[in-house]
Structures are given as structure tokens and as C-alpha cells.
Amino acid sequence: MVGTRIPHLLRMRSGSTHLLRILHLASPALPIGAFHFSQGLEYAVEAGWVKDEPFALEWIAGVARCAIGTLDLPVLLRLHRAARLGDDDGLQRWGRFLLAARETEELRAEDRHMGSALARILRELGARLPSRNHPGYAEMFAVACVHWNIGEDEVLQAYAWAWAENQVLAAVKLVPLGQSAGQRMLHALVPLLEEIAVQAFDIDDEGIGACAVMQGLASARHETQYTRLFRS
């Protein structure tokens, strides 16, 4: 019995590390403060734009398709490649590009907050980071994935999943929705997240951008919303 189990354990040790590392990065338990932000969803609920499960799913899917898939993921791909090549200039340039593309101060503040928090965690875990004040979240996510030898496909899918999970958790609190509704939405989003991760490889530099007008309006108005559960 012992002799038959050892090869199996060796296979697990050699093949599961990357999966566990990417699960660690995408986990909602990672203390980077993602749960503090709704990315405009709180105002959308307050304004009646999102009022039930179908509307919440439509909102999250729309932002995924028109912003995460066309802005965050193609930039993340370039950040990952720059980090892998040791190209600090490229890493910094694309990090600044993504931050400049955020449409509101709230979205920029979220990016800086999560990036700085992830950088602190990575330093504690022994990762070698470029010297940077207030790095962006995607930049630090890419650096972490290179540090742990995580491939491009997994990087994009994990980033998209972590974003979607936080948005669904926000919708569950805000609408409010039950936990079962949240799981149904995540299940429905999986094919879309896979699709936008694949499409990110085909977006050239000139094609990178976002067109999520309602999210931008919601985020801007959330900055002065009278009562808020989420940070602005």
C-alpha cells in the first residue's frame, strides 16, 4: 500500500504547486481589500439600475465584456510578459497606462490600494519586486505570477475570476441576493470569463480600451453617495 501511494504523492507535489499558487492569488481571503470596493455597483443598486439577479448578472457580464476583457486582461498579459523578461520599463509603462485608463478617482484609488496591499504581501512571502510607489494591482498580480512561474492562460483566467467573484459578492450584499443566486451568477459567468481571457491574446496595443459608460457614471456618482457600504 505504501509503495503504491508514494508515486501518486510525488505526482501531486510536482504538478499542483502552480494551481495552488494561483488559487492563493485569486482567493477572496487574500487581504488586499478587494471586498471594500464595488466599482460603481453600489450606486447602480441605489439608482435602481440593478435590482435583482438577472440585472446583476447583466451588469457584471457587461463590465466583464466591455472593460475587463478589453482593458485589464490585455494589459495584464503585457505586464506578465514584461515581468517575465525583466523589462522594468515595460512593466512600469503598462502599469501607468492601466491606471490612467481608470475613468474615476474611485477606480484609481482602488487600483492603488489593492496594488500596494498585494505588494506588501508579496514582500513578506519573499518575492522580488520592482521599486515602485503605489503600484497598480494588475502590475503586482503579474509580478506574483511570474515569481511563481504561472502561465499566461492561468494568469488571465484567475484575474478575471477574482474580479467576478468580488462583484458577485458585492451584488449579494447590495441588492440583496441569496447565496444560491450568487453561485448561479458565478456559474453563468464562467464561459464568459474563459472567452474574454482567450480573446485578450488577439487584442493589439491600439485595440486596448474600455467602453463601460454606465459603470463610469456609477463610480463617479458613488464618490458622493450619501450612504455607502463600500469605500470611495
119-173: per-residue pLDDT in tens? 999 999 988 888 877 899 999 999 999 999 999 999 999 999 999 999 999 999 9
Has residue 8 got a pLDDT over 80? no
Instruction: Specify the pLDDT at position 129.
Output: 87
Handedness of CA 146, 148, 153, 156 (dihedral sign): negative
Between the alpha carbon of residue 81 and those of residues 19, 33, 84, 119, 133, the distances in Å are: 19, 26, 5, 18, 21
**Considering the chain, what is the average pLDDT of its residues?**
92
pLDDT at 14 over 70: no
d(CA 39, CA 216): 9
- What percent of the chain has a predicted confidence (pLDDT) above 70? 93
Q: pTM above 0.75?
A: yes
H helix runs in 38-136, sequence order: 41-46, 53-63, 73-85, 88-101, 105-124
pLDDT for 231:
87
Tell me what the mean pLDDT of segment 43-61 comes to: 98
**Domain 40-222: which CATH number of 1.10.4190.10, 1.10.10.10, 2.60.40.2310, 3.20.20.80:** 1.10.4190.10
Q: Does 6 score more than 50 pLDDT?
A: no
pLDDT confidence of residue 2:
46
